Structure 1
Amino acid sequence: MSDSAILYAVSDGVATLTFNRPEKLNALTPAMLSQYFRRIAEAAADPAVRVIVITGAGRGFCAGLDLAVIGGGASEAVVTASELAPQWGDDIGPELRRFFSGGWNDLITCRKPTIAAINGPAFGWGLILSLHCDIRFAARSAMLNVTFARLGIPGEKGSAWLLARLLGTARAADLLYTARRIDGTEAEKIGIVNAVLEDEALLPHVMEYARGIAAHSAPRSLAAMKAQIWTAIEDHYDLAFEAADHEQDLAVQTKDFSEGIGSLREKRAPVFTGE
């Protein structure tokens, strides 16, 4: 399979990864998943990339693992960010790999904001990839479900862990036990997505949102805050407070801090460099 299965583009500080098997609702193959993780690693290591957006081509986001490979023993080695060169921001903020390994968790351990634009069906593994993002937006017509109970398997790839923390145990249990489909409106109501938008407005909204973060938020701040958010799930308050103080002591020595203060005093937009 060629790299065209995962489209990759960088513009205005935003890397956009697009699942590109529209005739299959972007269902995943092992080769496609390997390409996806390679692109995440590339975006994570690129200083020019400040935000990562994932979405799907055509009328689907990602329909999960392709039925043709389920149970067929098909496999392919998946290259993860942890096997490649160190990424930008590894030394900023609390150590995420205390809790999160590479591979599927590369979206979490990546020190850049990750956003899912769920433009259509997001089933099984497709939905799980979006759950590993920091922020999610959905089209009103999008359909989401975790299919595993109807396949005779448990919640795969951390889905139960993520859903319980996003939604609480009762709502997570409802979605996992029934494997029912929900639309974008319900996904917003129960808290899987940050907002639901009309179909044609979804991607323009997400790109404007991502470009706003890339243009106006200091990349070192983003890296530290992302690490704080994800490690706070397991840390107690005193550890989180201590880590925040440590990062603040480091941040005030940076050029970006001077730029942020200077731009505020001069009443202009900041120009952050990540230094």
Structure 2
Amino acid sequence: MSDILYDLTDGVATITLNRPDKLNALTPQMLSDFFAAVAKAGADPEAKVIVITGAGRGFSAGLDLAIIGGGGSGNVQTNPDGTPQWGDDVGPALAPYYSGGWPVLITCRKPTIAAINGPAFGWGFILALHCDIRFASTSALFNATFARIGVPGEKGSAWLLTRHIGQAKAMDLLYTARRFDGTEAKALGLVNDLFDDEALLPHVQEYARNIATFSAPRSLAAMKAQVWTALDEDYSTAFAAADKEQHLATQTQDFREAFNSYREKRPPRYTGR
């Protein structure tokens, strides 16, 4: 069975990390397939919203250190004291496998929603940070592990975390590399809301279907771009860009459909044109 599952139903593309026996720890092939799935949903006009979750009892435990340490084989050689004996594939040689693809979650012009069911550690934490919206279960656990393994905030995580929760709070999580639960994540503003384990995915799916049904795709694309660039632009630049997008939007079929469906008291039938 594939380590990445893809389902498209009612305009919602659900991408599931599928190594539940390993808490969905990420491998090179898994990441490549995941980024390809996001790109597939981004290019499919039938996919209006993207939901990302993990199979089993975890979102993602992060990078699969067992596979890295064994040169990709999964057989980790150890030192006499039992600690891993890392191979030549640790460090710069990993770049071809792990550096590409991450920006697709942001450059994709469709909403991305993380349904965080259990641990989101290391690169699993980073994956969640790249999503537009995050919902978590009561069993969710988070950890920015980087300081404790001798690396910086990887894959833009420091940049993202600062924008999500502010400088001082981000530095606390990055410096201490401590674990924190869903309740604290909600208090920090890192997740939008918290749900019982069994209620998480049904809520996220219904939330996503609501967006897919009632929100115009072109509006979603424009607003996603506006929000992600907002903190790096001054007000005047952002205002001018919004005016330009508004003018373009009024020329579209979806703009007319929004008003027609309202007058006719029916769900809109958006085409993205």
Corresponding residue of 2:208: 210
Aligned to 2:57: 59
Alignment TM-score, normalising by the size of structure 1:
0.88
Q: Assess, with a 3 A threshold, how the Cα gap between structure 1 residues 265 and 47 changes in structure 2: closer, same or farther.
A: same
- CA apart distance, 1:187: 0.5
Which residue matches 1:135? 133
Q: CA deviation at 1:236?
A: 0.9
What is the rounded CA distance, in whole Å, between the counterparts of 2:270 and 2:226 in structure 1?
A: 21
Unaligned runs of 5+ in 1: 81-101
Q: State percent identity of aligned pairs.
A: 67
Q: CA deviation at 1:246?
A: 0.7
Choose from 218, 221, 224 the match for 2:219: 221
1:1-150 equivalences under 5 Å are 4-68=2-66, 69=68, 72=87, 73=89, 75=94, 77=96, 103-150=101-148
Partner of 1:176: 174
5+ long unaligned stretches in structure 2: 70-85
* Paired letter, 1:186: E
Q: How many equivalent residue pairs?
A: 252
AA paired with 1:264? Y
8 Å CA contact retained: 1:108, 1:132: yes
Equivalent position of 2:230 in the other structure:
232
Closer/same/farther in 2, CA of residues 79 and 173 from structure 1, 3 Å limit: closer
How far did residue 267 of structure 1 move? 2.5
Contact 1:117-1:206 within 8 A present in 2 as well: yes
RMSD of the TM alignment (CA)?
A: 1.6
Aligned residue in 1 for 2:149: 151
SS of the equivalent of 1:267 reads coil
Cα distance in 2, alignment partners of residues 164 and 79 from structure 1: 23
Q: Conserved in 2, the CA contact under 8 Å of 1:31 and 1:76? A: no
1:78, CA displacement in angstroms? Answer: 5.1
Quote the offset at 1:265 in angstroms: 2.1
Q: Secondary structure at the match of 1:103?
A: coil
- Matched to 2:133, the amino acid is I
Contact between 2:32 and 2:101, CA under 8 Å: does it hold in 1? no
What one-letter code is carried by the residue in structure 2 that aligns with 1:106? V
Give the TM-score normalised by structure 2: 0.89
Q: CA deviation at 1:170?
A: 0.9
2:258 aligns to what SS in structure 1? helix
- Residue 31 of structure 2 contacts residue 98 of structure 2 at CA under 8 Å; is this kept in 1? no
Q: Does the CA-based 8 Å contact 1:30-1:76 persist in structure 2?
A: no
Q: Is the 8 A contact 2:226 2:238 kept in 1?
A: yes
Kindly indicate whether the alpha-carbon contact (under 8 Å) linking 1:115 and 1:136 is maintained by their aligned counterparts in 2.
yes
The 8 Å contact of residues 78 and 103 in structure 1, kept in 2 or not, is answered as no
